[in-house]
Amino acid sequence: MVDMDQPRDTALHSSLADMIATITKTFVIAHDQDSDEHLAQALVFNAGRLAWRMREQGVSTDFKTSLSDVVTDADRAAEQFVTGVISALRPEDGVLGEEGTHKPGTSGRTWVIDPVDGTYNFISGSDYWCSALALVEGDPADPDKVCFGAVHRPAMGYTWFGGKDIPTTRDGKALPTLENTSTELISMATYLNPPFIAEPALLNAWLSLAQGFLSWRMIGAGSVDLGGVADGTLGAYVQHTVQDWDWLPGRALVEGVGGTCIKVEAAGVTWCIAANPQAADEIATILRNLPPAN
């Protein structure tokens, strides 16, 4: 059950905060010798399961920037859990989270986290959502290196993990390298925010892209989409104005199967592209050939 009638303070209420503190302490004790790679996968698995259990019990929901941009107690609890663990086990690292966490570090590394990616799906009862994180070196907005990404989709039990130097796996099984394929033969995953339809340049850009694909998918969880590109269930991911936590975890997964992940400026915005190398080049060419935005 989701209660959307009563706004909540951004801080977790005391009983929930106490529960998260206990879960965090127990996790830290059990994982204090983990490698970064093992820790990342355990974090997204446990954050996703925490959010899942909270949804089953009922969560309260607040609106952020629009009726479709929402946050729940489960988002906040999962982010508090992940942040607490990283602060305890990797105290020199920074943390950047969708729900407001911004902890600078001294190591030059930052854990970029999205505790519940696809929150609108989450509150609607859909299974198309996940918990995701990436570890980067340098500024998350333009990292020197994306070390790896970890994405867990609770409903399916999948955990994707990988990076440019770490072959991507799904539940420990290596995924095949992406083969060069034209956009005409693959699907495109994207999300079209209704207010942007009123922007002629953006609408034209999206229509120009969409005509070149076999089919389109708009389901509303970027890291799940990118995991699908990595494992071949989706052909390409194309989206503009993407936040770091929606891009970096899945970018790492696609790079781990030999995919191309780039950003292109077009129609007055920045587009994120992830696909096999041939398709990524075709997408970038379409965007670069668009007329400039007024």
Q: Which residues line the annotated binding site for Mg(2+)?
A: 98, 114, 117, 246
- Structure tokens, 292: 């400039």
The stretches of the chain forming alpha helices (DSSP H) are 14-30, 36-57, 73-89, 119-123, 200-210, 222-231, 244-255, 277-288
Find, among 131, 141, 147, the residue nearest to 227 by Cα: 131
Query: What are the angstrom distances between the C-alpha of 1 and each of 52, 55, 57, 58, 74?
Result: 12, 7, 7, 4, 12
Asked whether the beta carbons of 85 and 27 are under 8 A apart, the reply is yes
The binding site comprises 98, 114, 117, 246
SS3 for 69? strand
Q: CA–CA separation, 121 vs 125, rounded Å?
A: 6
Q: CA–CA separation, 231 vs 212, rounded Å?
A: 22
Q: Exposed/middle/buried for 37, CB within 10 Å: 0-12, 13-18, 19+?
A: middle
CA dihedral for 62, 64, 66, 69, sign (positive or negative): negative
- Structure tokens, 109: 């590394």
Query: What are the angstrom distances between the C-alpha of 123 and each of 100, 206, 292?
Result: 20, 27, 38
List, edge to edge, every strand of the sheet that includes 69-72: 2-3, 59-66, 69-72
Q: CA–CA separation, 82 vs 104, rounded Å?
A: 15
